[in-house]
Structure 1
Amino acid sequence: MGLDRQVHRDFQLLWVGQGLAALGTQIPALALPLTAILRLHASAGAVGVLNALQWLPFLVLSLFVGMAVDRHRRRPLLIVADGGRALVLGGIVALAVSGRLSLPILWALVFLFGVGTVVFELAFQAYVPGLVGTDGLMRANTRLQATTTGAQLGGPALAGALVQTVTAPVALGLTAVSLLISVVTLSAMRTEGFTPTATVERPWTQFLQGAQLIWTNPYLRSLVPVSACYNLFNEWMLTVYLLYAVRHLHLSPILLGVTLAGGTGGAFLGALLADKAVRRFGLGATFLGVVMLESLAAPLVPLAPSGTGWTVPLLVMTFGAMDFGVTLSSVVAISVRQTVTPAPLLGRMTAGYRMISYGTIPLGAAAGGWVSQALGLHTGLLIGALALMTTIVWALWSPVVRLQSIADLVPTTVNEPDGQDILPD
């Protein structure tokens, strides 16, 4: 990747640690809702609340965390976030084993887990560009995404097997272990990347700088609704699908995990092919093509038949196609965002971006649960799938579809309050 020796060593540590953590953090995606469904007998509405609370911190805390990311060293924030998430999951395991876990307690702990996820996600997105530099960014993101999705390939099936053999709460203990391994690898690194400078700016001024960047840059402004729309209805579908698969398709936890593993198989392939696809077809054409794929495949989920030999294979292929598109489009979008954003504003830009794009996830989880409880699981799932296809409209509006390569991007200049300009490193 053209990195000096110390940076290369640190990137390898980051790569390994996040690969293991990615495998572990696939378990809560299945184990947390199945804990509510199988152990606490939660309704569709209750599962919707659970999924919403896990993502709610992105809506209510992203701006504050983003400002903190731009004012502090980012690697220590990553360490604290993963350590905190491991502690929360350990608490869920202890309460479940002792028989003291209830839905309100699980909701509260899931919210705290989401707080740790916000801190980690925003700090990580801001840390990587400072670690590898602009020249290595596309390849670094491709490698990280490929490793993450490779670990995720076995994650859902592993989670399903663990839930069925050792119960969902106990399976969460393995996630805590993987997060602690991440803490160790992050602690062993030495490269800090971006070094924050002292600032006397008020928080509101800092927020306005990030918001100004997103609004004035046409690429950032147009990518926000693409992510927000897809995340809204994808989470709607996922929330309903977990209940639908257990109660209507009568899938065991292992088979449920297998269907979701099909998605990560597609994601792994998408990550591996991202760099080649962009060079072969162009950045914009690749982005639009995979957004169309991930959106048009969604209605096949509620159309899957129940109790036939084709049920699981069809779901595996459908989730595979959707996640292939999501992963490849994410590699493009993340690289575009990191390229056009000055390093001192990466935290605030990512915070504002994620507040909107991830802020729709709790809305989708809650809405999907409530609509399905009122109209039935199949109808709720179908509505979410059809609505997800509107993501294509937002993608067509984005100037990203006209880009040939990342080199076509024009760096953004943002005025500081003292009149100086901030330029990308």
Structure 2
Amino acid sequence: MSTDTSVHDGATEPEPDEPPSPSLARHGDFNKLWLGQAISAFGSEITTLALPLTAIIYLQASATQLGIMSMLRELAFLGPMLFFGVLVDRMRRRPLMVTADLGRFLLIGMIPVLAFLDSLTMIALYVAAFGIGCLSVIFDLAYRSYLPGIVSREQLMAGNSRLQATDSLSQITGPGLAGVLVQLMRAPFALAVDAVSFLVSAVSIMAVRKKEPPIERAPEDLGRGWRGVFADIGAGLKITLRHPVIRALAGNSATFNFFSVLMLTLFVLYATREFNLSPAALGAIFAAFGVGGLLGAMSLGTLLGKLGYGRLLIFVYILAVVPIMAIPVVDGPPLVAGILFGVIHFIVGFGIVGSNIAEMTLRQLIVPQNILGRVNASFRFLIGGLVPIAALIAGLLGDGIGLRATLVVTAVGIPLSLVWLIASPIPRLRTVEDAERVAS
């Protein structure tokens, strides 16, 4: 992406009813990036299960110790993310992704080695969890900011769709693969396979041939030390809060996340207490979400050609919102309730993954590439800041007014997030040119 968002890359803008995304099937550099991201996604899913199981089975960890480890892994999504956004904009993205993969290879690889030497402790797992969380955030921010530099603007939707499709596929199959590995190899040693996956990912990304342009910084930005870092963070926050499209996307996501976390926090408890659903049934329900997300990622190219960017985002977002409103009114015997919950999660998965892809593509089209890392970091920081608070409120409301009543509150609140999109310029954005015009 050019740093001047008012200049085209030389490609002719497609009409809304024409296929807007040229094929990526023979795009060697994208496919190497895609392979690296896919392997990292599957590796991360293995870590998600095998790391806590290592603590539980191998070290007999307490609930408090597991909570500390989980908190340390998620800590990177709070304040540190803003600094990582600056890092992504100040350095070339491909070396950062390679470094993040190699770092995860070393951190995860040390766990089975320490276990083999009978030296593994919870302190080591704490260090690994925090490091893995930080490196995963850096990798994610870097590849999302790197993609506009290796594909054309018309290919961004197709590229994001493929990257998101592998995320959805990893969510469907990753936990099962992790469970088999833990069963066969024991938890600490299953992580050895995970570590190798990050090494393979690093090699794949190193094979990308297209060179990144040098990082351009104004002379007055050099030598400012921490003042310059905080100024860069402020610049990312400023664009996120002041740009009419980015602000609407952030407000929409923050509102949706707040109310959806209320629902997600209580859904398992609600489904088991009210309908006596088994763990296997709950697993099938959540798998339906992943299947829907995979289908959504694969369908966006066709929908984009018919609807354009803005109306596509609103359409798939409605698919995410409306079915959620039906969760509190589901009734019937366990089998019927389980099927209905599965159908709801399938449609919601299609809508959420589709809206995530459309939203990410709009940010990449609108935000200049030299500040995209900071804007992505600011965006995710702002939309994630209310998540811990929402989880706490969910528990208080669930005990105070009851599970079903709390789910009714979420069903009423979630549609409010749609107002952010409708009241913004987003419905009028049909083509790449429209997005560039808003950015100018």
TM band (smaller chain) = 0.7 to 0.9
3-state SS of 2:169 partner: helix
Equivalent residue for 2:248? 222
Distance in 2 (CA, whole Å) between partners of 1:330 and 1:126 is 15
1:115 equivalent among 134, 141, 149: 134
| Deviations 1:313-354 (CA, angstroms, capped at 9, x unpaired) | 333322222221111111211111111111211112212212
| Residue aligned with 1:193, SS | coil
Q: What is the rounded CA distance, in whole Å, between the counterparts of 2:74 and 2:188 in structure 1?
A: 20
Structure 2 counterpart of 1:334, which letter? M
CA 1:30–1:11: 2 relative to 1, 3 Å: same
Aligned residue in 2 for 1:85: 104
- The reply on whether 1:410 has 2:429 as its aligned counterpart is no
Task: Tell me how far apart the structure 1 counterparts of residues 180 and 270 of structure 2 sit (CA, whole Å).
Answer: 19
Pick the structure with greater CA Rg: 2
> TM-score, normalised on structure 1?
0.79
**Does the C-alpha gap of structure 1 residues 255 and 100 become closer, same or farther in structure 2, counting only changes over 3 Å?**
farther
CA distance in structure 1 between the partners assigned to 2:342 and 2:253 by the alignment: 23
Q: Is the 8 A contact 2:293 2:353 kept in 1?
A: yes
**Paired residues, number:** 408
RMSD: 4.0
SS of corresponding position for 1:76: helix
One-letter identity of the residue aligned with 2:278: L
Structure 2 equivalent of residue 26 of structure 1? 45
Show the 5 A alignment for 1:212-291.
212-241=238-267, 249=276, 251-252=278-279, 256-291=282-317
| Cα pair distance change 1:173/1:305, threshold 3 Å | farther
**1:42 aligned residue:** 63
Compute the TM-score of the two structures, normalised by the length of structure 2.
0.77
Structure 1 partner of 2:11: none
Q: In 2, distance between residues paired with 1:58 and 1:218?
A: 24
**Amino acid corresponding to residue 43 of structure 2 in structure 1:** G
Q: Give the residue type in structure 2 aligned to 1:204.
A: F
Contact 1:10 1:190 in 2 (8 A): yes
Listed as ranges, the gaps of 5+ residues in structure 1 are 414-422
1:132 aligned counterpart, secondary structure: coil
Write out per-residue CA displacement over residues 190-214 of structure 1, whole angstroms, 9 at most, x where no aligned residue. 3233431244412233233323322
Q: Percent identity?
A: 33
Matched, 1:17 2:36: yes
Unpaired runs of 5+ residues, structure 2, are 1-20, 222-227
Q: Distance in 2 between matches of 1:134 and 1:267?
A: 23
Q: Write the distance in 1 (CA, Å) between the matches of 2:409 and 2:50.
A: 23
Corresponding residue for residue 382 of structure 1 = 407
- 1:55–1:362 CA contact under 8 A, matched in 2: no
The residue matched to 2:150 in structure 1 has which SS? helix
Q: Aligned letter for 2:309?
A: L
1:120 alignment partner AA: F
Cα distance change of structure 1 residues 40 and 263 upon mapping to structure 2, 3 Å threshold: farther
Give the Cα–Cα distance (whole angstroms) in 2 for the partners of residues 376 and 182 of structure 1: 48
Q: Tell me, what secondary structure is at the counterpart of 1:404? A: coil
What is aligned with 1:420? none
Tell me the distance in 1 between the aligned counterparts of 2:159 and 2:140: 16
Question: 2:396 aligned to 364, 367, 371, which one?
Answer: 371
Residue 349 (structure 1) aligned with residue 375 (structure 2): yes
Counterparts of 1:289-328 in structure 2, within 5 Å, are 289-299=315-325, 308-328=334-354
Specify the alignment match of 1:126 in structure 2.
Answer: 145
Residues 220 and 337 in structure 1, CA contact (< 8 A), matched pair in contact too: yes
My pick for the range that moved more, 132-141 or 61-70, is 132-141
Partner of 2:225: none
Q: Secondary structure, in 3 states, of the residue corresponding to 1:192?
A: coil
Q: Distance in 1 between matches of 2:381 and 2:365?
A: 20
- Kept in 2: contact 1:49–1:366 (CA 8 A): no
1:82-122 per-residue CA deviation (whole Å, 9 max, x = no partner) reads: 232344444566678969665x8756643332211221121
In terms of mean alpha carbon deviation, does 183-192 or 26-35 score higher? Answer: 26-35
Alpha-carbon deviation of 1:173?
A: 4.8
Q: CA deviation at 1:13?
A: 1.0
Q: Compared with structure 1, are the counterparts of its residues 54 and 385 closer, same or farther at alpha carbon in structure 2 (3 Å cutoff)?
A: farther
**Matches of 2:180 and 2:410, distance apart in 1:** 28
Question: Shift of residue 15 of structure 1?
Answer: 1.4
CA deviation map 1:218-259 (0-9, x unaligned): 11111111122223344454455566678885634x654433
Instruction: Assess if the C-alpha contact under 8 Å between 1:341 and 1:412 holds in 2.
Output: no
Q: Equivalent of 1:193, from 207, 212, 218?
A: 212
In 2, Cα distance between equivalents of 1:302 and 1:40: 36
| C-alpha spacing 1:112/1:191, structure 2 compared with 1 (3 Å) | same
Q: Distance in 1 between matches of 2:113 and 2:282?
A: 25
Which digits, 9 at most, give the CA deviation of each residue in 1:389-420, with x for residues without a partner? 4323333333212322333123566xxxxxxx
Report if the CA contact (8 A) 2:97-2:143 is conserved: yes
CA distance in 1, matches of 2:99, 2:111: 19
Distance of 1:192 and 1:384 partners within structure 2:
51
